[in-house]
Copies of this chain bind each other. A is one copy, B any other.
Amino acid sequence: MIMKNFALLSLFVLCALWADAQEPASYVNPFIGTTNYGATYPGAVMPHGMVSVVPFNVTPHKGNEYSNTDSWCSNPYVYNNEWMTGFTHVNLSGVGCPDLGSIIVMPTTGELNVDVNEYGTTISNEKARPGYYSTKLNRYNILAEVTATMRSGISRFTFPEGKANILIDLGHGLTNESGAHIKRVSDNEIEGYKLMGTFCYSPQSVMPVYFVVRIKRDNMQSGYWKFQDKLPGARHNWSSTSNTYKLYKRYNKELSGEKIGTYFSFDATEGEQVEVQVGVSYVSIENARENLDAEQTNLSFEQIKKQAYVTWNDELKVIEVEGGTYDDKVKFYSALYHLLLHPNILQDVNGQYPAMESDAILSLDNQDRYTVFSLWDTYRTVHPLISLLYPEKQLDMVRTMVDMYKESGWLPKWEIYGREAHVMEGDPALIVIADTYRRGLTDFDVETAYEAMLKHANTVDDHFLRHDNDFYLEHHYIPFLKDYDNSVSQALELYVADYNLAMMANEMGDKATYKKAMQRSLGYRNYFDKEFKLLRPVTEEGKFMEGFDPVQGENFEPVHGFHEGTSWQYSFAVPHDVKGLMRLMGGKNKFVQQLNKCFKDSLFDMSNEPDMGYPYLFNYASGDEWRTQKQVHDCINRYYKNSPDGLPGNDDTGTLSAWLIYSMMGIYPVCPGDMNYTLSSPVFDKVTIHLNKEIYQKEKIIIEADRKSVNDIYIKGIEINGSPYNRYFISHKDLIELGHIKYKLGAAPKQ
C-alpha cells in the first residue's frame, strides 16, 4: 500500500510495511502521475474496469490550485489539491480532455447541506493500492474506503456518533454534458442515469451512464435535491426555493434536471460502518442492477477489496523483474498498472453493450467489448505491448474495432462509450490492426478489417479520418491551407498509417495496394526542407509555407502545420523510414547532429507522442548506439519518478507508461507494423516476460543484464541465447522464438 506521505518514510519502514514485497501489486503506487498533468487518479479500479471509485478534488475551492474551471482540467483528482467533494464512479485516466468524472457519492455529518460548494472537506492519511483507496475526511471525522469490481464500486464509510448523511450528487463532475434522472426504488436504493460526453468538446458524442446506488443500511430518511434556477420576475420573491437548492423531502417519483441529487440521512452510532454500492451500465438501469448484483452479491467489502488486489497481482505477474532499486520496481509496476486501466470493458455481465454510433444494443458471449480507444496515442506503444503481454486482450480489442466498423462504417480514432470523439490526427486504427496481425495475432475477422482499412484509405470524399484525401492520394501530402492548420501532423500520421496498410496489403497478397500505399508513406519527403533539415508545411502549389519558424508551437502555442508541437518535435516522426530521413538529412553524421540538437537544446518533448521514438533513433546510426542508451536512461530518470509528478505529462491512457515499460526492459518497437524491436540497456538485472503459450507457443522471454553498478548503462556486448549478437535490432519473431537476450553493460560508451 502506498501512502500519500510515503516520501517521508525511510526505506526501512517501507520494507517493513511491504512484507508482501515480492508481489508485483505491492509495488504499484497509484499516486504516480496525479500531478504535473499526468492526469492519472489514485482511486480503486479493476484492470480495464468499467467502474473506478476516485476521490474527486477538482471542485473550485480555496486549497484547490487546479480545478475544473481551469482550461483542460481533465482529471478528477489532483495530488496537490486539498478540497475533496466525494467519490466519482466513472473516470478516465491520463487523458487530456474532461469527461466522465461523475456519479458522486459523498458522506458528511451534521446538518444536511447539499451544495457542492459547501459540503466538501480537506482529507488526510490517503492510502492507495491496486483496487483500494482510503482517506480520512477531516471535517467530518469520517474514514472513507473504496474498492471496486469490474462494473461496480463499493464505499465503506466509518462515521462518528451523530447525524450522518450520504449524498449522491449528479450535478457536478468533469463531464461537460449535463442532465440526470433519478428515481427512488426503495428505502435504500435509487436508480437513474447521468448524461456524459462531449469528450474534447465534441458536441455530439453523448451517452447516458445508467446507475443503481444501494445503501446497506435501514432506517434512513431520504429525499432529493435540485438547484432551482431563478424564477422569472416577481415569482422569485414568492418562491422559497428559487435560485437555491430545493430539498424534496416527500417526493420520491422520477426527478430530472441539471444540479440534482439524492440524500440519505440517519443517526450513526460511534464507529458505525455504512457501505454504499454503485452499479453502472452503458445499456440500461436494469443492467446496472444486474451488474451490481452479479458482482457483489454475497461479497463483503473486504472480500471485494481482496479480489481486486489479487486480480491486479495476477495481471502484473506477466513480467517479473529482478535487480534495480525499489523505486525502479515501483515505477515499472505502476506503469504496467497504468497500462491496464484503458481501454475499458463496455459490455455488461449479460454481454450487452451500446453499438458504435447507433442506438442499437448488441450482445457478445465470449468476447470483451472495449471502449476508450485513444488510438493516436496508443498505437505507438500501448497496443504493441499489450500484443506481447496480453495477446488475448489485444485480440478482443481488435475484434472490437472491427465490430465498430461493422456497426458504424468506420474504424475508431478516439472512441469513447461507442461514440467517435474526433480527437487528434490521422488514421490510427489501420496501424493497430496491421501491427497486431503481423505479430501473429490473426484470429479476428481479417477480411472485414482489411476492407475497412481500404475504405479508410481510398474514400475520396472528405471524411473525419482523412480530410483532403483526394489531394493526398494524388500528391502524397496534405497542403497548408490556412493559418494554424495541422497539415503536416495529419500527413505524418497518414504516412505511418499507409505504411501499415502496405504491410497489411503485402500480407493479403494485394500488391497494387502495397505499392501505392508504400509510395504514399514516403510522401513526408515533400515536407523536407534542406535549409532547416526539418519538415516544413507545403502549399497546394508545392511551395514551402512562408514565415516558417521551427520552434513555434512549444507549450501549446498555436503553430502553422503542426498539432500541439513544433517542427522539431515532428521532424523525426517517420519511424517507418528512418534510413530515408537520414539520407535526406545528408547522411549519418548530419542526422546524428540534428537529432542530438533536439536533446541538447531541449527541443525534444518526452510527453508528446511523436517524440517518443527520438531517443532510440541513434540506433540507426552505427557507432552512435551509445547515445540511445544514454538518452533512454536519461529520460527514464529525468521524466519518470516514484512520486505524484512521476509522469512527464498526460499518460494518454497508458502511452507514456508503456514507453517506460519497454525502456526499462531494454527493448523498444521501432515502428508499429515494423516487426523489429531496437535494443538498449535495461534498468533491471533480469526481466522475465511470461508469454501466452497458446498464442506464442513459447513460455517466456528473458532479458538479462550483466552489470557491476547501476551506473553501467552502456552496452558492451549482446548475446542472444548465448551467442554474440552484433545488431541493435531484433525481430518480434526472433525475440519470442529465441527468447533470451543478455546485455553486458559498462560505465562508459562502447567505442
Instruction: Give the interface of A toward B (CB within 8 A).
Output: 60, 67-72, 98, 176, 178-181, 193, 195, 198, 201, 203-204, 206-208, 226, 228-229, 231-235, 237-242, 246, 248-258, 260, 357, 359
Contact A193 B240 (CB under 8 A): no
Report the separation of the CA atoms of residues A60 and B60 in the bound assembly, to the nearest whole angstrom: 35
Inter-chain contacts of A67 with B (CB < 8 A) = 233
Which residue of B69, B208, B255 is within 8 Å of A195 (Cβ)? B255
Contact B176 A235 (CB under 8 A): yes
Which residue of B250, B251, B254, B258 is within 8 Å of A229 (Cβ)? B258
Report the separation of the CA atoms of residues A228 and B180 in the bound assembly, to the nearest whole angstrom: 13
Contact A71 B254 (CB under 8 A): no
Report the separation of the CA atoms of residues A701 and B252 in the bound assembly, to the nearest whole angstrom: 49
Closest to A71 in B: B234
Inter-chain contacts of A253 with B (CB < 8 A) = 207-208, 359
Contact B179 A71 (CB under 8 A): no
Shortest A515–chain B CB gap in Å is: 38
Contact B256 A193 (CB under 8 A): yes
List 8 additional contacts besides A60-B232, A68-B233, A258-B258; criterion CB under 8 Å: A68-B235, A69-B232, A69-B235, A178-B228, A179-B260, A180-B256, A195-B254, A229-B258
Report the separation of the CA atoms of residues A240 and B200 in the bound assembly, to the nearest whole angstrom: 11
Contact B257 A178 (CB under 8 A): yes
Given known pairs A70-B234, A248-B206, A256-B193, the reply for A241 and B180 (CB within 8 Å) is: no
Which residue of B69, B206, B228 is within 8 Å of A234 (Cβ)? B69
Report the separation of the CA atoms of residues A226 and B178 in the bound assembly, to the nearest whole angstrom: 9
Oligomer: number of copies? 2
Given known pairs A176-B239, A258-B258, the reply for A204 and B249 (CB within 8 Å) is: yes
Report the separation of the CA atoms of residues A370 and B359 in the bound assembly, to the nearest whole angstrom: 40
Q: Which of A67, A198, A254, A255 has the most CB of B within 10 A?
A: A254
Inter-chain contacts of A237 with B (CB < 8 A) = 71
Shortest A446–chain B CB gap in Å is: 30
Report the separation of the CA atoms of residues A193 and B182 in the bound assembly, to the nearest whole angstrom: 12
6 A-B pairs within 8 Å (CB atoms) are namely: A69-B234, A195-B255, A195-B257, A203-B240, A203-B246, A206-B251
Closest to A285 in B: B254
Contact B229 A178 (CB under 8 A): yes
Shortest A393–chain B CB gap in Å is: 28
Report the separation of the CA atoms of residues A234 and B198 in the bound assembly, to the nearest whole angstrom: 15
Shortest A513–chain B CB gap in Å is: 32
Contact A195 B235 (CB under 8 A): no
Contact A195 B240 (CB under 8 A): no
Which residue of B193, B251, B260 is within 8 Å of A254 (Cβ)? B193
Report the separation of the CA atoms of residues A545 and B206 in the bound assembly, to the nearest whole angstrom: 64
Contact A254 B178 (CB under 8 A): no
Inter-chain contacts of A252 with B (CB < 8 A) = 359
Contact B256 A198 (CB under 8 A): no
Contact B239 A201 (CB under 8 A): yes
Given known pairs A70-B234, A71-B233, A204-B250, the reply for A239 and B198 (CB within 8 Å) is: yes
Inter-chain contacts of A206 with B (CB < 8 A) = 248, 251
Closest to A239 in B: B201
Given known pairs A71-B235, A176-B235, the reply for A201 and B359 (CB within 8 Å) is: no
Shortest A316–chain B CB gap in Å is: 36
Contact B179 A255 (CB under 8 A): yes
Contact A181 B256 (CB under 8 A): yes
Inter-chain contacts of A193 with B (CB < 8 A) = 254, 256
Report the separation of the CA atoms of residues A342 and B400 in the bound assembly, to the nearest whole angstrom: 58
Shortest A203–chain B CB gap in Å is: 5
Inter-chain contacts of A246 with B (CB < 8 A) = 203
Shortest A301–chain B CB gap in Å is: 31
Closest to A242 in B: B176
Report the separation of the CA atoms of residues A195 and B67 in the bound assembly, to the nearest whole angstrom: 33
Contact B240 A181 (CB under 8 A): no
Q: Which of A193, A204, A228, A256 has the most CB of B within 10 A?
A: A256
Inter-chain contacts of A232 with B (CB < 8 A) = 60, 68-69
Closest to A60 in B: B232
Closest to A224 in B: B206
Which residue of B226, B239, B357 is within 8 Å of A179 (Cβ)? B226
Contact A204 B68 (CB under 8 A): no
Report the separation of the CA atoms of residues A412 and B305 in the bound assembly, to the nearest whole angstrom: 53
Report the separation of the CA atoms of residues A206 and B255 in the bound assembly, to the nearest whole angstrom: 10
Report the separation of the CA atoms of residues A239 and B240 in the bound assembly, to the nearest whole angstrom: 34
> Which 7 A-B residue pairs are closest in the complex by CB-CB distance?
A69-B233, A71-B234, A179-B257, A69-B232, A179-B256, A256-B256, A181-B256
Shortest A268–chain B CB gap in Å is: 26
Shortest A192–chain B CB gap in Å is: 9
Report the separation of the CA atoms of residues A362 and B456 in the bound assembly, to the nearest whole angstrom: 58
Inter-chain contacts of A239 with B (CB < 8 A) = 176, 198, 201, 203
Inter-chain contacts of A98 with B (CB < 8 A) = 235
Inter-chain contacts of A257 with B (CB < 8 A) = 178-179, 195, 256-258
Report the separation of the CA atoms of residues A193 and B195 in the bound assembly, to the nearest whole angstrom: 17
Report the separation of the CA atoms of residues A168 and B642 in the bound assembly, to the nearest whole angstrom: 55
Contact A204 B251 (CB under 8 A): yes
Report the separation of the CA atoms of residues A397 and B203 in the bound assembly, to the nearest whole angstrom: 51
Report the separation of the CA atoms of residues A191 and B655 in the bound assembly, to the nearest whole angstrom: 43
Report the separation of the CA atoms of residues A369 and B253 in the bound assembly, to the nearest whole angstrom: 20
Contact B69 A241 (CB under 8 A): no
Contact B70 A204 (CB under 8 A): no
Closest to A232 in B: B69
Contact A231 B181 (CB under 8 A): no
Which residue of B70, B231, B359 is within 8 Å of A176 (Cβ)? B231
Contact B181 A181 (CB under 8 A): yes
Inter-chain contacts of A180 with B (CB < 8 A) = 256
Shortest A288–chain B CB gap in Å is: 13
Closest to A359 in B: B252
Q: Which of A180, A198, A226, A251 has the most CB of B within 10 A?
A: A251
Contact B234 A195 (CB under 8 A): no
Report the separation of the CA atoms of residues A615 and B671 in the bound assembly, to the nearest whole angstrom: 98
Inter-chain contacts of A256 with B (CB < 8 A) = 179-181, 193, 195, 256-257
Report the separation of the CA atoms of residues A181 and B258 in the bound assembly, to the nearest whole angstrom: 11
Inter-chain contacts of A179 with B (CB < 8 A) = 226, 255-257, 260
Report the separation of the CA atoms of residues A260 and B206 in the bound assembly, to the nearest whole angstrom: 15
Report the separation of the CA atoms of residues A69 and B238 in the bound assembly, to the nearest whole angstrom: 12
Inter-chain contacts of A60 with B (CB < 8 A) = 232-233
Report the separation of the CA atoms of residues A430 and B242 in the bound assembly, to the nearest whole angstrom: 35
Inter-chain contacts of A255 with B (CB < 8 A) = 179, 195
Closest to A172 in B: B232
Inter-chain contacts of A226 with B (CB < 8 A) = 178-179
Contact A254 B359 (CB under 8 A): no
Shortest A248–chain B CB gap in Å is: 6
